[in-house]
Amino acid sequence: MGLPNYQNNNQEEEQQESPLQKLVKQQANRKGKKIAKKFARKAAKLAVKAAKQLGASLIKVLMSFLAGLGLPTILIAALIIIGVIIISLAMSFFFSSGDGLTGEDKELHEYIVKQADSTVDLNDPFQKKYRVPHALIASVIQIDALRDEDAKDLAKDMAKSLAPTFDYGKYNEFTQKQTQVCEDGVCKPWSSIKQTDKWVSKLDNVDFWNGYTSFTHEAYLTEWKYDTKITYRTDRWTETEKYTETVVEKYVEYEEVSRTVLVQVPYTETIYEPYVVIEYKYIEKRPGVYIRVEVPVTKYRAKQVTRYETKKVIVKDKVPVERSKEKKVEKTREVEKSKVVEIKTTTRTRQQKFNSTENTTEDYSYFDQILNSQNFGTEDKKLIEINYLFTGGEIKYTDWLGINGSSGFTGGYGGFNGTITPGAGVPAQFMGYYLSAEKKYGVDWYSLAAVHFVETGFSTHPTMYSSVGAIGHMQFMPATWVGWKYNIGGGLVSSTLDITSLSVIKSGGGYGVDGCGDGKADPWDVCDAIHTAAHYLSKSNYKNDPRAAIFNYNHATWYVDKVMKAAQGYKNGATYTPADGAMPAITKGDFMRPATGKVNSGYGERWGKLHAGVDIAKVGSANIPIVAVADGVVVKSYLSSSYGNCVIIEHQINGVKYQSLYAHMTGRAVNNGQKVTKGQFLGNMGNTGRSTGPHLHFELHKGEWNKTKSNSVDPVLYIPF
């Protein structure tokens, strides 16, 4: 621990580097690409047959032979180093190029090429350029050839694992249309816009073995395009019109004659009505004296008058004569009329199009993750790069690994809100210490468990003292624990110094902490030791680079590989049970909600693109668990440049296959092929990949998930959100 690093020397003795590891470490670090160019192809040809014949036992044979010659051990190692690297380079070259191979060797070369070709659609020129290089596969299988692994199985696994992922989105290149009709120069208003959707697939992202390319598609509307057509129409109609017509009217002449007639003529006469009193008036104020009133009466008397009438008369020849005269008469009639009308129809159209830009980033995260899954260590990875360079390939893997060595290691469970039950191999009595240290220092519990395992076998080593003086459950050098100002040599301190004193540690700038609050920091107290390890890793920038931090704990690449491999296993083997209320209730239907929270973006068109799922926003600072919506099997658990940490689960519901997708998580708690149950924890809401903020992007597909998302369905139609 600390600088210099002498701790845990007994562990280093147990993990002696092989001659092959030493070779790669020296050659890759000192010469890099130059080593790939150093060996001529002729030398490689001389070695390839021997390599194939000797196979995995080559090193043992060479060791026995050279030792029999009485050569010094250093010289033996040097000769073996040269022989092994020539053989590895040669085998990589020949199984890549196929030159000079026959029989089973040629068959293996053709199999590698076939597997590489299967990673893309070779009929698609765009996909073809992302094909996994068969030379890369050949370079990888040479490492396992020395382990006596099945080359074909590994070639198939590598091709399948490294196959590029093409993520397509559906974009709406709709057409909008309006029309305007003008008749004889009089124009009507433009019609309402009629839109015809046209969904097309566009590539959003490609994840390939050494990087990713992201495509941004920005929508815009084209200018209106006008098309005018002129037609003619004849309108016909009937009108009623008035007119004057001259007619000849015939008649017979008549003359008037008179005659006398007797008629009754009315007149008025005044009479007295002696018995009818009309009105009484006083006369000379004599009471009782009245007079009668005169009453006019209409009467009639006969009178002769002359009247005239017409009758036919005979004139001249005494014969009736018909005469005629002209007369103008106003009449009406129906008249048919017609008119030619010019019709000008103007149609204008415009489309939604997209300006596409692409950005490629060289990133070996996925490649590193695959190699980690195959248990390749750092030295193996360096030799793979040398092999690939020798075939003529371009790769900057080890350069990237030196800067981003932690990228293949997925963490992200700090502060999990619930119960974590460790899997096989992790003593449950230490989980409380790991989790409390994780919460305080931000170092994943499984990394602390892995360090604990590698250092002292979970505190089972008999003495927990190393040969160089490292002490306690987590094997700290005393000077690292209490402060290097107390160093008396080799990281040791005076036996009279109280290294558990908090004031002494503070004065010396040491890393020891009081993990359990008993007022002292004791490396022999497992709680204090685990908390101090978390403190040390945190100060070593674990948050941003776990690999470098673990390397700083014990300066050996084999140590880092072993710790990280164990940590990955502990992480994946644990069971995560979210606390009550932190996860949605498990419902009785076919599916349940994948997380609590509000759906803030639904399924459908968004910004001209099909949003093939729903987004559930994270509320608050606490971790929000994501769970499986139904029983199923994990078909993919991977890190994507677009989806971030992503899990795809296949479900069989009433005989129908569905696949659910969970994206942008902080980490992944399940692996490929793992069976999961409804409500099982998958990870926490996060902001990984192409994401604008912490949330869960959830998709549901009826059938298999595919690149164009053609099987996607609206989750709200199946799940009670």
In this prediction, residue 192 has a pLDDT band, given cuts at 50, 70 and 90, of very high
Give every CB contact of residue 470 below 8 A, 6+ residues apart in sequence: 1, 6, 7, 8, 9, 476, 477, 491
Q: What are phi and psi of 658, to 5 degrees?
A: -125, 155
Residue 71 has pLDDT above 60, yes or no: no
User: Which sign does the torsion angle of CA 682, 683, 685, 687 carry?
Assistant: negative
Which of 208-212, 680-684, 699-703 tops mean pLDDT? 699-703
Buried residues in 390-411 as b, exposed as e (16+ CB within 10 A): bbebebebbebbeebbbbbbbb
pTM, to two decimals: 0.61
pLDDT of residue 309: 62
**535: phi then psi, degrees, rounded to nearest 5:** -60, -45
* Gap between the Cα atoms of 475 and 15, Å rounded: 17
pLDDT(513) > 90? yes
The most confident of the ranges 100-104, 399-403, 533-537 is: 533-537
Is pLDDT above 80 for 57? no
Kindly state the tokens that stand for 74: 């250093």
SS3 211: strand
Distance CA 320, CA 79 (A): 162
Strand partners, 344: 182, 230
What's residue 108's pLDDT? 87
The pLDDT of residue 319: 53
DSSP state of 146: T
Q: How far apart are CA 713 and CA 704, in angstroms?
A: 12
- The amino acid occupying position 583 is M
Give the Cβ contact number of residue 502 at 10 Å: 15
485 burial via Cβ count (<10 Å: 0-12, 13-18, 19+): exposed
Supply 224's token pair.
């209106």
| pLDDT value, residue 131 | 95
- pLDDT for 640: 85
The whole-angstrom separation of Cα 623 and Cα 666 is 9
The pLDDT score that the predictor gives to residue 293 is 63
| Residue 713: per-residue pLDDT | 96
Which is more confident, 255 or 104? 104
Q: What's the average model confidence in pLDDT over 518-537?
A: 96
Give, in order, the Cα–Cα distances in Å from 224 to each of 189, 548, 629.
17, 58, 47
Mean pLDDT, all residues of the chain:
81
Q: What amino acid occupies position 173? A: E
Q: For residue 269, what pLDDT is reported?
A: 84
Cβ atoms of residues 607 and 705 within 8 Å: no
8 Å CB contact between 196 and 174: yes
**How confident is residue 608, by pLDDT bands cut at 50, 70 and 90?**
confident
Q: How many CA atoms lie within 13 A of 199 on its CB side?
A: 14
Confidence class for position 150, pLDDT limits 50, 70, 90: confident
Q: How large is the angle between the packed helices 73-97 and 103-117, nearest 10 degrees?
A: 60
Mean pLDDT of the 411-415 span: 51
Summarised one tens digit per residue, pLDDT across range 153-167 is 888 988 988 999 898
Q: Which residue has the higher pLDDT, 33 or 533?
A: 533
- Asked if 311 contacts 255 with a C-beta cutoff of 8 angstroms, the reply is yes
Average pLDDT over residues 186-195: 96
Per-residue exposure over 504-520, b if at least 16 CB sit within 10 Å of its own CB, e if not: bbeebebbbbbbbeeeb
Closest CA to 438 of 511, 537, 552: 537
Q: Could you give the CA distance from residue 136 to residue 227 in angstroms, rounded to a whole number? A: 57
448/316: higher pLDDT: 448
> What confidence category does residue 380 fall into, taking pLDDT thresholds of 50, 70 and 90?
confident
pLDDT of residue 627: 93
60-74, 104-118, 181-195: which is most confident = 181-195
Confidence of residue 21 (pLDDT cuts 50, 70, 90): very low
pLDDT at 495: 92
Average the pLDDT over 66-76 and give the result: 47
Between residues 292 and 142, which one has the greater pLDDT? 142
- Local structure of 160: helix, strand or coil: helix
- Residue 568: the pLDDT is 82
